[in-house]
Amino acid sequence: MKKILALHTGGTISMSQSDNGDVTPNEVNPLLTDNFEDLFDHKIELISEEIFNLPSPHMAPEQMLQLHDRILQAEKAGIDGVVITHGTDTLEETAYFLDLTLPDTIPVVLTGAMRSSNEIGSDGLYNFISAIWTAYSEEARNKGVLVVMNDEVHTARYVTKTHTTNVSTFRTPTFGPIGLVAKHQVQFFQELIRLENVQLDHVIDHVYLVKAYAGMDAQLLEVLAQPSTNGIVLEALGAGNMPPQTLPALKKIIDMNIPVVLVSRCFNGIAEDVYEYEGGGVGLKKMGIIFCRGLNGQKARIKLLVGLSAGMNNDQIRHYLSDAVS
Which amino acids are annotated catalytic?
A: 12
Is the backbone of residue 206 left (phi > 0), alpha (psi -120 to 50) or beta?
left
Residue 268: count of CB within 10 angstroms of its CB: 8
- Radius of gyration of the CA atoms of the chain, in A: 20
CA distance 23 to 203: 31
Helical packing angle, 61-76 and 91-101, nearest 10°: 50
Closest CA to 207 of 92, 284, 308, 112: 308
Phi, psi of 219 (to 5 degrees): -60, -50
Closest CA to 96 of 307, 291, 263, 264: 307
Type of residue found at 139? E
